[in-house]
Structure 1
Amino acid sequence: MKVTGEETPDEFREKARAIVLRQLAMVDRSRQQLLDAQTSRGIPEEIALEIVDRFEEVGLVNDEKFAELLVRSRMAERPMSRVGLSRELSRKGIDRDVAEAALDSVSVEDEMSAALSLARKKARATEGLDPVVRRRRMYGTLARRGFNPEQIMRAVTIVLDDDIEDTSL
């Protein structure tokens, strides 16, 4: 490549392909994340679009699969609500309709299970603290993950009631 900074369209394409391949080698990315990675490195937008379109044509970029995988992995590894998942998908440039389709796999029971799991984890981490502080921290943690007030209250109540029962045995 030329060092002058005046690259030809073919040189930009070569550079863009390398950027996309490096990005995809690390972890799956959304179409928008790949576009952002290219344009932030000086690739003209029309070339970035051309390269991402080509990767999409051959099946290496697929926002639907990306969204489904992200939802499944987050629910398994880092419990959060549908609202929290929706925010994360939006930040990654996933279209609202694609996000909604991926979120359809999260049931009300899955969401409550995630809230309980997170509340239990926070309860263990705050054991021994003043009950008011402990409750406040649990509420805050669940709220940041997008759970609604009803889900939060229910999960915190269940977990703290379990703690009271465990200590009274």
Structure 2
Amino acid sequence: MDRSAASDIGDSGAEDADGGTVEQAKRVCLRLLGVRAYSRAELVQRLTTKGYAPEVSEQALDRLAEVGLVDDAAFAEQWVHSRHRFSGKGRQALARELRRKGVAQSDAAPALAAITAADEEARATELIHRKLRSLPRDLDRDRAFRRLAGMLARRGYAQHMIYRVVEAALAERDIPGDIAGYID
């Protein structure tokens, strides 16, 4: 038996002249999923880039979803947990990231709701204390406040939480002043 005949036996998907087979598309997805989790939209984009026809991509992804390998709700849950825990991202930034990855709001909302306000504030406080250790001791209060608040804002924390957490951390460090000058 020659190689082409052997490879045809494993391909149970219908072949599209320009778009590859469903089996080939599934193999591409499995290789990608072996590295990290992907949202369905990300996999569609990768398959499209590789030249697979939309129908072939959909069939392959439907089959992978049936067996639980492609699940946007599970992806969102994992993404939110890891990015909040290890990268210190706030809910706003995580919601933006999930939208960019093509995760539907209905799949993203439960994952984002898993991060409570107390969890978010505790993580923001950890980040502030770590950053405070690297700031010069003689840095004036205004500059310290701006650096700390900017760091949390870039990570997607809510403005009211930023002010509260930074103010508390600066007060602990005995840097006089209050946030009255920072609130509009």
Question: What TM-score, normalized to structure 2?
Answer: 0.78
Give 1:58's aligned amino acid: V
Who wins on radius of gyration, i.e. which is larger?
2
Q: 1:42 to 1:9 in 2, by over 3 A?
A: closer
Matched-pair contact (CA < 8 Å) for 2:19–2:56: no
Matched-pair contact (CA < 8 Å) for 2:39–2:75: yes
Q: CA offsets, 1:91-115, max 9 Å, x none?
A: 1111001111111211110111121
SS at match of 1:60: coil
Considering only aligned residues, what root-mean-square deviation do their CA atoms show, in Å?
A: 2.0
Q: Which residue of 1 aligns with 2:155?
A: 145
Matched-pair contact (CA < 8 Å) for 2:93–2:157: yes
Question: Of 17, 24, 32, which residue of structure 2 is paired with 1:23?
Answer: 32
Q: 1:128 to 1:15 in 2, by over 3 A?
A: farther
Q: CA offsets, 1:76-99, max 9 Å, x none?
A: 212222111111111111100111
Q: CA offsets, 1:103-153, max 9 Å, x none?
A: 121111011112112222222232346223322121111111111221111
1:157 partnered with 2:167: yes
SS at match of 1:46: helix
Q: Give, in whole Å, the separation in 2 of the partners of 1:37 and 1:124.
A: 42
Q: Which deviates more from structure 2 when the two are superposed, residues 80-89 or residues 13-22?
A: 13-22
Question: Of 118, 127, 144, which residue of structure 2 is paired with 1:134?
Answer: 144
Q: Which residue of 1 aligns with 2:85?
A: 76
Q: Which deviates more from structure 2 when the two are superposed, residues 60-69 or residues 122-131?
A: 122-131
Q: CA offsets, 1:5-28, max 9 Å, x none?
A: xx7368443432222011100011
Q: Give, in whole Å, the separation in 1 of the partners of 2:149 and 2:131.
A: 9
Matched-pair contact (CA < 8 Å) for 2:135–2:144: yes
Q: Give, in whole Å, the separation in 2 of the partners of 1:64 and 1:12.
A: 27
Which structure 2 residues correspond to residues 4-153 of structure 1 after superposition, within 5 A?
8=17, 11-128=20-137, 130-131=139-140, 132-153=142-163
Identical-pair percentage: 34
Report how many residues are paired.
Answer: 160
Matched-pair contact (CA < 8 Å) for 2:18–2:52: no
Displacement over 6 Å in runs of 4+: none
Give the structure, 1 or 2, with the largest relative contact order (CA under 8 Å, sep 6 or more).
1
Matched-pair contact (CA < 8 Å) for 2:80–2:94: yes
Q: 1:79 to 1:10 in 2, by over 3 A?
A: closer
Give 2:28's aligned amino acid: I
Gaps of 5+ in 2: 5-15, 176-184
